Amino acid sequence: MAFLVLLAAVLLVLSAQANAGFLSIDCGLDDEYSGYKDPNSGGIVYVSDGTYTDAGENLKVAPEYESYYQSHFLRSYLTYLARLAASYGNHDGRNDSSAMEFDVHLGANYWDTVRVRDNQVYEVVFVAWAGWAPVCLLNTGHGAPFLSMLELRRLGDALYPALMANQTMSMFRRRNMGGKFIRFPDDPYDRYWWTIVDPRWSNLSTAQNMQPDPSFAEPVVVLQTAATATGNSTALSYTWQDNRPAYSFMVFLHFADFQSAQLREFDIYFNGNRLGPSDKPYRPPYLASSTVCSFGWYRATDGN
Ligand SMILES: *[C@@H]1O[C@H](CO)[C@@H](O)[C@H](O)[C@H]1NC(C)=O
Ligand SMILES: *[C@@H]1O[C@H](CO)[C@@H](O)[C@H](O)[C@H]1NC(C)=O
Ligand SMILES: *[C@@H]1O[C@H](CO)[C@@H](O)[C@H](O)[C@H]1NC(C)=O
Ligand SMILES: *[C@@H]1O[C@H](CO)[C@@H](O)[C@H](O)[C@H]1NC(C)=O
């Protein structure tokens, strides 16, 4: 079984609500509760999925929206963020999600494999290639696919410039160094920035205003906290590991200095490859963010 969920075209229909450019679906919600404001997400409105899903079939967009939306799309390729969660909650009465998994596609592009036991949130950034984008759940023989939540956020045309129109970029980790979990309204695009704690680091913070990098629009509260190496250690290092060797990775590091008293400069390495300026150490800007990213996609042979 595969079912399609209609995404982008409905944005116009919803733009009259408080969070223009947001579509938040609480999957399986009774229609009578549709349109509730979630206090945990800064009052984002969640609707039921009744209008957006149709088992095995593609939903038809009302022609007036289709043509309007497509002409809009032709002017500028808009970037979107889609996020889903599939919380097991023993919905099938078997009390076992250990082997449950299914694939998610975004149009023709593979997005990710949802491993239900991990109970995590899956997120992807993509450039809209048509007036609407179907999210397709694919049964791969490990249990019937299901969703608890589906969210769509319009990011505009200035964010994530590295992304080409034919690519989808699935999130692996996004972390707020030295600070707490952040989402809307601190992040106007409702990206999730999870906290990260490491005993080798200490936290820095400031109340000063910070200037985000226009290509990434980091929340100011994220830029107002930072992590630094403790004690006499001169390196801040972190290892993230993934066991899916077919995946390629890109890293985006956001730096912003808020301690004017010190000269701050350092070298940055990603899997042994130097990033940032090639001939001199990197100096983060003062009270403004700049982003250092890997050149292209990195794939490790050993999964590291
Ligand atoms: C479900 O499984 C967990 C652990 O596998 C067990 O502790 C729990 O009692 C089970 N619940 C039911 C209702 O069978
Ligand atoms: C994606 O688009 C870029 C730029 O238009 C092109 O160079 C590249 O070959 C395309 N990749 C695929 C897989 O179609
Ligand atoms: C750093 O901040 C995080 C998030 O607020 C917190 O969980 C952690 O305990 C802090 N670490 C230290 C060493 O204070
Ligand atoms: C840092 O280095 C100094 C001088 O070598 C030493 O006295 C001190 O104990 C070290 N501090 C820590 C936290 O390791």
Percentage of the chain exceeding pLDDT 90: 38
* Residue 98 in tokens: 């250990």
In the chain the domains, ranked by start, together with CATH numbers, are 2-163 (2.60.120), 172-304 (no CATH)
Neighbours of 266 (CB within 10 A): 13
Query: For the segment 188-200, what is each residue's pLDDT rounded down to a tens digit?
Result: 999 999 999 999 9
Residue 164 in contact with ligand 2 by CB distance below 6 A: yes
**Six token digits for residue 176:** 């707020």
Q: What is the maximum alpha-carbon separation in the chain? A: 65
Q: Looking at residue 131, what is its pLDDT?
A: 54
Amino acid at 51: T
What separation in angstroms does the CA of 282 have from each of 123, 214, 255, 278? Answer: 30, 19, 10, 9
- Tens-digit pLDDT profile for the chain (304 aa)? 344 444 433 433 333 345 678 888 888 778 888 888 888 888 888 888 777 765 533 333 334 333 333 333 333 467 889 999 998 888 888 889 889 999 998 877 889 999 999 989 999 998 876 555 678 888 999 988 888 889 989 887 788 887 877 788 999 999 999 999 999 999 999 999 999 999 999 999 999 999 999 999 999 999 999 999 988 888 898 888 887 778 888 999 999 999 987 789 999 999 888 999 888 999 999 999 999 998 788 887 665 5
User: Which residues does a 6 A CB cutoff place in the pocket of ligand 4?
Assistant: 231-232
Cβ–ligand 2 distance for 108 under 6 Å, the answer: no
CA–CA distance, 208 with 223 (Å, rounded to integer): 10
First to last CA, the chain: 34
- Atom 4 of ligand 4, nearest CA residue: 232
Q: What is the pTM of this model?
A: 0.82
